[in-house]
């Protein structure tokens, strides 16, 4: 009797997957790089939430506890054993928010004291094998003025998750404050199911097709480095420079981008690429951008680390006008976005690229928009404004994060965070590069 071989079709829905014991490719890359730099804060994500009005801290703790119980990723730890990295999902727990009461200080001393508390909290070092990996501290400045300081490890966080987290905390707080139970829609999947789905997808036909694409896309691109070979690779210390793009300048960016038939992000990215080309003498190279990996509707409400660092191949010739460079970059970016959910670590591994401490094997510079939606917060009668922060660290030679204005942010200007590796740049060199970018951006806006 001949056995009939039946091909079993792998379920395509994330919610059909069994929870994985391991971790995602996205988390794995962070854990591997963190092991190169023990005790660093480069993978801390932080924000300050400024609250005006009365805030019930006990209700806020219950609201955060509800969200932590709802999302397994917020109560998951990661350990390393003989079989690799393993995830452990812990039972729900009562989330504690430490209080730092500065309301008794003289009024002029409160904000400086709050800044000191914030700096101390943001320098904390997380152990991914121990809870909590998300912390929120409350600083009371007055009876009707607070600052909430959020710090978490990047293995549980991405920009999309940040907005979802505070949307759900707000809903839960406002329900609990009025004696009701929160009633958020059930999640269709949890993060460990995403891990199973991602691993199955990347280890199958799609993953091979995607890596073949990336091998062809990256073939021949130069390695651009402005900082030379670092003398030491045991540190991720960086120079952080925050710059402001005024509202009128950002308005001109929008207008110019529209005339060029590109997005404001591509326009600002292309100015940076032209500056890299001029400084390095290279005309064909890659710059990284951050893209969210939520390709399935089931993943949109989920809190977890799914963002990818995606290479964008850039071709810049000295004789090309800015609009041609920008449109060429946009075309290249659209081509790459077809496989934007492929983790960089998988590309590196499948292409057998050498990964060394202190050097990314694909690109040394990253330029991204952080434009994920953030909510306008209200806690009962109190209003709150979210203020994202960056740290004095650098995972690349240069990492630029632009936070553009949006309808959910009160600011009409854009914020630019420039992170320069101290291994590659002196502080004065970093300041000069930012100034040169601003001058080049102004010239493009003036002449285009």
**CA angle (445 as vertex; 444, 446 as ends), nearest 5:** 90
pLDDT at position 432: 95
Half-sphere exposure of 166 (CA within 13 A, CB side): 28
pLDDT above 90 for 48: yes
pLDDT 10s digits, 293-324: 888 999 999 999 999 899 999 999 888 999 99
Average pLDDT over residues 40-67: 93
Average pLDDT over residues 60-85: 96
How would residue 17 be classed by pLDDT, with cut points 50, 70 and 90? very high
Average pLDDT over residues 219-226: 88
d(CA 247, CA 268): 15
Q: What is the dihedral of CA 232, 238, 239, 241, to 10 degrees?
A: 150
pLDDT at position 357: 63
Query: At what angle are helices 247-260 and 427-447 packed, to 10 degrees?
Result: 60
Give the C-alpha distances (Å, rounded to integers) separating 138 from 51, 117, 146, 264: 10, 10, 7, 36
**CA angle (365 as vertex; 362, 371 as ends), nearest 5:** 110
Average pLDDT over residues 146-164: 92
How would residue 356 be classed by pLDDT, with cut points 50, 70 and 90? low
Q: Report which DSSP code applies to 222.
A: B
How would residue 224 be classed by pLDDT, with cut points 50, 70 and 90? confident
d(CA 267, CA 441): 9
pLDDT above 50 for 438: yes
Q: Report which DSSP code applies to 362.
A: S
H helix or E strand, kind and range, residue 349: helix 344-350
Which domains does the chain possess? Answer: 14-176 (3.30.559.10), 218-371+390-447 (3.30.559.30)
d(CA 224, CA 203): 31
| Closest CA relative to residue 281, chosen from 198, 325, 242, 223 | 223
């Amino acid at each position: 009797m001949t056995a009939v071989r039946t091909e079993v079709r792998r379920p395509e829905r994330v919610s059909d997957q069994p929870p994985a014991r391991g971790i995602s490719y996205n988390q794995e890359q962070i854990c591997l790089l963190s092991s190169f730099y023990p005790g660093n804060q480069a993978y801390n994500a932080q924000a300050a939430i400024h609250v005006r009005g009365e805030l019930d801290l006990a209700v806020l703790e219950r609201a955060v506890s509800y969200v932590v119980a709802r999302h397994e990723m917020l109560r998951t730890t990661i350990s390393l054993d003989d079989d690799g990295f393993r995830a452990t999902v812990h039972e729900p727990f009562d989330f504690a928010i430490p209080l730092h009461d500065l309301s008794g200080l003289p009024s002029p001393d409160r904000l400086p004291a709050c800044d000191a508390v914030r700096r101390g909290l943001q320098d904390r070092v997380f152990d991914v094998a121990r809870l909590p990996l998300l912390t929120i501290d409350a600083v009371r400045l007055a009876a009707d003025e607070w600052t909430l300081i959020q710090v978490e490890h990047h293995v549980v966080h991405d920009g999309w998750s940040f907005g979802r987290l505070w949307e759900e905390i707000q809903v839960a707080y406002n329900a609990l404050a009025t004696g009701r139970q929160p009633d958020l829609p059930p999640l269709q999947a949890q993060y460990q199911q995403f891990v199973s789905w991602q691993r199955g997808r990347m280890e199958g036909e799609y993953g091979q097709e995607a890596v073949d694409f990336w091998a062809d896309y990256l073939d021949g691109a130069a390695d651009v480095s402005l900082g030379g070979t670092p003398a030491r690779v045991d540190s991720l210390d960086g120079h952080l420079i925050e710059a402001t793009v005024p509202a009128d300048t950002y308005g001109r960016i929008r207008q110019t981008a529209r005339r060029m038939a590109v997005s404001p992000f591509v326009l600002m990215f292309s100015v940076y690429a032209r500056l890299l080309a001029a400084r390095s003498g290279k005309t064909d190279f890659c710059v990284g951008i951050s893209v969210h990996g939520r390709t399935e509707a089931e993943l949109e409400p989920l809190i977890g680390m799914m963002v990818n660092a995606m290479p964008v191949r850039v071709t810049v010739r000295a004789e090309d006008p800015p609009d041609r460079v920008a449109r060429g970059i946009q075309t290249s970016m659209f081509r790459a976005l077809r496989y934007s959910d492929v983790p960089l670590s998988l590309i590196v591994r499948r292409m057998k690229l050498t990964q060394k401490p202190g050097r990314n094997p694909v690109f040394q510079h990253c330029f991204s928009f952080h434009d994920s939606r953030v909510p306008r917060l209200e806690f009962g009668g109190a209003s709150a404004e979210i203020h994202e922060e960056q740290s004095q660290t650098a995972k690349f030679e240069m990492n630029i994060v632009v936070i553009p204005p949006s309808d959910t942010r009160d600011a009409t200007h854009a914020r630019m965070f420039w992170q320069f590796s101290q291994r590659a740049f002196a502080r004065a060199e970093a300041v000069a590069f930012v100034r040169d970018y601003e001058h080049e951006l102004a010239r493009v806006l003036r002449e285009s």
